[in-house]
Amino acid sequence: MTDLTLTVAPVDGEADLDAFIRYPWEIYRDDPLWVPPLLSMQRDVLDRKKGPFFEFGQAQYFLARRNGRVVGRISAHVNGLYEQYHDTETGFFGFFESENNPETAHALFDAAAAWVRGFGKVKLHGPLSFSIYDEVGLLVEGFDSPPSMMQTHNPPYYEDLVLSWGFAKTFDWYAYRISRGPGRDTADADKLARMRDAILKRQRCTIQPIERKDFAKRGPQIKELFNDIWSKNWGHIPLTDRQFRDIFVTLQPLVRPDLESMILDGDDIVAFSVVSPDMNRSVKKFNGKFGWWQKLQLLYDCRVRPLTHCRAIIMGVAKTHQWKRLHHAIILNIVVNFLQNHPTMEYCDCSLIPESLEQWNKTLRDYGGERYKVFRLYDRSI
């Protein structure tokens, strides 16, 4: 039966924005796997004056209330860069959270659809944050483990809410877990290292760690290579200088040469991997706070404390070298570093891998990767 006290309205003012940001604490209060977002960083992302998205996009945030109590939230946004590289017909939704009630979810989707229709859009797509390289998709497999950094997490019933409004699957992204299991020992690492070195020797390439100074020295080259590598992948939009700078500022203090690597052909980077300690293991303890004490704790956990989990955030090979098996060398190097240098490491998460990249999916499986999470995007004509 329809509850006439349900309302959905745009976020208006600081109190509403605070309610929007804090609502997930209501949804996940009994979920031991949930990792609370950092409140200050979430506020910066949503701030129209600070967020890099607002250089080329527009967004509106909505809150659903029943009897005055917040019971759901959603964002609607349009992306000018997406329109340049893909189409002008698609609007997006993200930051979706809802009680387990189709009426609430449908009212939120209706509000997002109406807002993007105001920009001439005829399709609603999501859920995703403001960039395809932020948190993306609905978790549909892998509810038994916590999210790694920059991964979404949601209750299983969200998929029913999405499908009941008429959304259909658009695309899947996979997360793989490479674990320290039986047979994963030093001898195994030595064998894998020889395989890696043979590939590099055959292609006349070298591999070396990425130092913190390399992010500053080679930053523009890494950005251009990233945009080139991903240009044919689903939903790719080139990173702007501002977006790359924000990623650089976040990751640079956490760079560990024993995790990162780049493959060189002469002096040119032709493949690289960005592997970070999984910050979520620390962030979970902060419960949204990120003051100076939490920042010190994070640096200590990521740069001093023995690591138990890491995430390969970015892996890629230049188009000029994509048929030279360098993706094997990149993945082998991650596994070798994991086994040789980090005896306390339980597993390395490699994600997000597009379902369409069978070459990478197969290679990850070949070297012991277990697909343990699936994140799904949906769309619907509006």
The domain that contains 134 carries what CATH number? Answer: 3.40.630.30
Question: CA torsion angle for 33, 36, 41, 45 (degrees, to 10)?
Answer: 80
Helix (H) or strand (E) holding 232: none
Q: How many other β-carbons are positioned within 10 Å of the β-carbon of residue 120?
A: 10
Task: Go through 216-240 and write b for each residue having 16 or more CB atoms within 10 A of its CB, e for each that does not.
Answer: eebeeebbebbeebbeeebbbbbbb
pLDDT score of 239:
81
Residues 148 and 225 reside in one and the same domain: no
Residues 167 and 199 reside in one and the same domain: no
Inform me whether the pLDDT recorded for 124 exceeds 90: yes
Residues 195 and 114 reside in one and the same domain: no
Residues 121 and 241 reside in one and the same domain: no
Residues 150 and 192 reside in one and the same domain: no
| Number of domains comprising the chain | 2
pLDDT score of 116:
98
| Last-in-domain residue among 173, 207, 223 | 173
Q: What percent of the chain has pLDDT over 90?
A: 71
Inform me whether the pLDDT recorded for 259 exceeds 60: yes
Which structural domain, as residue segments, surrounds residue 243? Answer: 177-374
**pTM for the model:** 0.94
| Last-in-domain residue among 130, 156, 173 | 173
Give first-to-last CA distance, the chain, whole Å.
25
33 domain-assigned:
yes
Which of 39-53, 237-251, 315-329 is the least confident region? 237-251
pLDDT score of 186:
62
pLDDT score of 255:
72
Residues 67 and 88 reside in one and the same domain: yes
pLDDT score of 242:
80
Contact 378, 164 (CB under 8 A): no
The number of C-alpha atoms within 13 Å of 114 and in the hemisphere containing its C-beta is 12
Structure-token match 């945009």, residue found: 227
Q: CA 137 to CA 59: how far, in whole Å? A: 18
> Would you place residue 322 in the very low, low, confident or very high pLDDT band (cuts 50, 70, 90)?
confident
Residues 256 and 323 reside in one and the same domain: yes
| Last-in-domain residue among 115, 140, 173 | 173
Residues 195 and 274 reside in one and the same domain: yes
> Would you place residue 167 in the very low, low, confident or very high pLDDT band (cuts 50, 70, 90)?
very high
Residues 137 and 216 reside in one and the same domain: no
The whole-number average pLDDT for the span 349-374 is: 94
Contact 226, 314 (CB under 8 A): yes
